[in-house]
Amino acid sequence: MNKGARISIVLVSAAVAVGLILFGIFGYLRTYPPTVVFTPSPTQPHTVDVTLQVEGAVGTGPHPNWVGWYAKDAQGKWVRTTLYQVPEKTYVHVTVYEYDSGGPLRNPYWGKITGTVGNDAVLNGKKVSVLDAAEGNGIGHTMVAPALNLSVPMWGLSGTEKTFCQSGPCTLANAHNTETFTFYTGNHPHNYRWQCFIPCGAGFLNGNGGPMAETGYMAGFWKVVA
């Protein structure tokens, strides 16, 4: 084999290697759920409305049977993500449609609502400050952002509801609970990590692992920007 051929082989091999590396990085490792940007309306500059839904099986993506969250974007379309961008110094009005079943809490403290305006929320039209997981259908999920002191439990459904949603995104025709709360984003732009604290990873030991540890399912960020 002459020198030119050898050079060609080396260069082509190097190009293939670089291609594989870039494919690995951008095709997989950099695959990230999208961020839904919430902006205030011109008439209410320090307020944004966020609409979310949480359900038992998100229906799409690499793990269609995992529990997960959707957010409604500016066009009114449901986007499967747990990354939400909101402005600093802003009151965030959150509406969550809860479509998943619930159960008792391992730690009743997780039933307490903290970090919201008034340390309370409105569940199906009723103001609540603590959800007693020992009653009714119990708690399905929580939205907890420790650095914002935010912790809000979501009241669960009965798994035997006739119109129980099987696959996301669910619609209001499916059985659901509606919960609203407001929190303040503060003065420090930062990516605030949030996490569901209720072990809900079905198929994983004690419900931990899987969706509990993965962005886009039961973990995400409140991205507070200037």
Q: Is 214 in the site for another protein (CB under 8 A)?
A: yes
CA proximity to 168, closest of 79, 84, 55: 55
Task: Count H helices and E strands in the chain, helices first.
Answer: 1, 13
Q: Is 127 in the site for another protein (CB under 8 A)?
A: no
Identify the residue among 74, 75, 173, 205 touching another protein (CB under 8 A). 205
What is the total count of residues that contact another protein (CB under 8 A)? Answer: 30
Identify the residue among 107, 125, 206, 226 touching another protein (CB under 8 A). 206
Report the alpha-carbon distance of residue 86 to residue 103 in Å, rounded.
Answer: 31
Q: Regarding beta strands 83-87 and 91-98, do their DSSP bridges make them parallel or antiparallel, or are they unpaired?
A: unpaired
Q: Is 226 in the site for another protein (CB under 8 A)?
A: no
Dihedral sign (CA 187, 88, 119, 165):
negative
Residue 118 or 209: the one with the smaller Cβ distance to another protein is 209
Q: Is 30 in the site for another protein (CB under 8 A)?
A: yes
Structure tokens given for 165: 């949603």
Letters for 66-105 (x = contact with another protein by CB under 8 A, - = none) are ----------------------------------------
Residue 110 or 204: the one with the smaller Cβ distance to another protein is 204
Structure tokens given for 133: 């997981």
Amino acid at 157: L
The torsion angles phi and psi of 122, rounded to 5 degrees, stand at -115, 120
Residues contributing to the site for another protein (CB under 8 A): 3, 6-7, 9-10, 21, 24-25, 28-30, 32, 65, 190-191, 193, 201-206, 208-210, 213-216, 219
